[in-house]
Structure 1
Amino acid sequence: MNFQIEGLRAWAPGLESEDDWRAWCNAPEVVPDDQQQPDVSFLPAMQRRRLSRLARMLFHVAWPLAEGQGPLPLVFASRHGETPRTLAILNELAKGEPLSPTQFSLSVHNAIIGLWSILREDNSEMTAMAAAGDGLEQAMLEASGLLAEGAPAVLLVIAEELPPDLYTAYIDDVPFSYALALLLKPGKTWTLSLAPAESGLPAAWPHPLNLLRALHGGQRTLTHYWKDRQWTWSRNEA
């Protein structure tokens, strides 16, 4: 897979500017997740009310990259999705309380891209996917397919929200809430390749955060292992 990263934006609690992320990439650590809300003030107040924190994360990183691009296919990847919202629904079920149709409709995995399509008035092809440890690379496969079919650009967003405490024993791959958006265009600046692998060192951080570290550090190659797969990112420019 060959492509060009035309633009990127990332967000985590306390990490918004490029300087914030550069400092974090030089000395990565778990940042306190105090339920800080990403800024989506570019949306009207009535539209913001329907957005969960995870949705706000996507809109915050993706909206500026989409400005001026025209119709733009979107690939959204999140392994866990709307965990706070689904837990609230499960609690209501356990108590025998009636479920909110609105809360249920907004809890499904493709609800966020539906809201994105409505608010941007964009009916381009959009995909919501859930993948395990190599969700970033699986999303890149989907985005590369769209580019190969002739899309002039594709927006890729991967986001995870720190799950409620009840899930702590079961979800160990989200050190803190984060979102990463990449504006991808055809080109040969980057190559992503896949090869079988019997074993490899597990990544110290989720793959999107490792990619950010590589980009800020000027690395030319980055290797990710997941189960029996080895993904290699290569920067090709001179």
Structure 2
Amino acid sequence: MTAPPTLSLTVFVEGIGLVGPGLTSWIDGSDKLAGHAPYDSIPTVLPAPLSLPAAERRRAGAVIKVSLAVGQEAVNAAGLQASSLPSVFTSSGGDGVNCHDICSALASSDRLISPTRFHNSVHNAASGYWSISTGATPTSSVLCAHDGSFSAGLLEAITQAVVDNTPVLLVAYDTHYPEPLHSKRPIPDTLGVALVLSPQRSERSLARITLSGVDGLTSMAATTMGDAALEFLRQTIPAARALPLLELIARQQSATVALNYLDDLQLAVDVAPP
């Protein structure tokens, strides 16, 4: 038998968005990830989604606020039009607070669910609000792969960018669950990260990332963070599995990171300055 052909997919990171505990933006977060400023884990502060019409803004929960914030930051940094970008949205569970409120309503005596709660309960809610906010009409993929959701989204976005020869926006996000769901799914806070990935290098490029091998998968252990507080974030919020990748970009270092994906296989990503 002949060996399968080696597949290598390379894209360039054109813009990054980041919001999470103690991380107010990519500019703020990159300083902390690079070790230029201390990291303190304080509760996530979510900006109001001012790009939405007033009616939609009133309905927006944490998932919408964080995904729009990081998506717009990444697109602005890339100098591109959000309306023209295909997108990939990925989350391990969507809106935890909304899920809690629906479960509470179903457990009450009247069992009536607010139309707004139902409207926001679908897994593609963030993608829909992004389209409303930016006027984006290209294709949008919405994924969920439990704790491997960031890697699943990254793999999808890189593949789309290379195959379709176009920049693609990746948005990954997770929010906390209130009790009693929190005891079963203990995500402590909200975090979102967005990457604009392009098949071509530009003057704005921040890094070059490559998936090597047949499928990009590796049995090597997942890469961890040296800072204990950042490692806690990586372990407890699925979207924060992106932190080792972001740290290399912030430090402008070349290395291979293994990002959590499947139970016994990680996604191997080669990172280098552009």
Q: TM-score range by the shorter chain?
A: 0.7 to 0.9
In structure 2, the partner of 1:159 is 173
In structure 2, the partner of 1:58 is 67
Unpaired runs of 5+ residues, structure 1, are none
CA contact (8 A) 1:155 1:183 kept: yes
Q: Which has the higher strand share?
A: 1
Deviations 1:34-56 (A, max 9, x none): 6x332433444333112111111
2:217 to 195, 203, 212: 195
Partners of 1:157 and 1:140 in 2: CA distance = 9
Residues 32/14 of structure 1: CA separation in 2 closer, same or farther (3 Å cut): closer
Partners of 2:85 and 2:242 in 1: CA distance = 21
In structure 2, the partner of 1:124 is 138
Partners of 1:201 and 1:144 in 2: CA distance = 20
Q: For structure 1, which segment, 200-209 or 138-147, has the greater mean C-alpha deviation from structure 2 after superposition?
A: 200-209
1:142 and 2:164 aligned: no
Partners of 1:18 and 1:144 in 2: CA distance = 20
Q: Report the 3-state secondary structure (helix = DSSP H, G, I; strand = E; otherwise coil) of the residue aligned with 1:31.
A: coil
Aligned residues: 235
Partners of 2:164 and 2:143 in 1: CA distance = 21
Q: TM-score, with normalisation over the residues of structure 2?
A: 0.75
Q: Report the 3-state secondary structure (helix = DSSP H, G, I; strand = E; otherwise coil) of the residue aligned with 1:108.
A: coil
Partners of 2:244 and 2:273 in 1: CA distance = 20
RMSD: 2.5
Partners of 1:201 and 1:13 in 2: CA distance = 22
Sequence identity (%): 27
In structure 2, the partner of 1:31 is 41
1:208 and 2:242 aligned: yes
Q: For structure 1, which segment, 97-106 or 4-13, has the greater mean C-alpha deviation from structure 2 after superposition?
A: 97-106
Residues 47/223 of structure 1: CA separation in 2 closer, same or farther (3 Å cut): same
Q: TM-score, with normalisation over the residues of structure 1?
A: 0.86
1:14 deviation in Å? 4.2
Residues 225/118 of structure 1: CA separation in 2 closer, same or farther (3 Å cut): closer
Partners of 2:128 and 2:53 in 1: CA distance = 17
CA contact (8 A) 1:32 1:176 kept: no
Deviations 1:193-225 (A, max 9, x none): 32342x625744231222222221223122235
Deviations 1:99-141 (A, max 9, x none): 1223112111011211211232222100111112222221122
Residues 187/110 of structure 1: CA separation in 2 closer, same or farther (3 Å cut): same
1:19 deviation in Å? 4.9
Residues 210/165 of structure 1: CA separation in 2 closer, same or farther (3 Å cut): farther
In structure 2, the partner of 1:223 is 258
Unpaired runs of 5+ residues, structure 2, are 1-8, 202-207, 225-230, 235-239
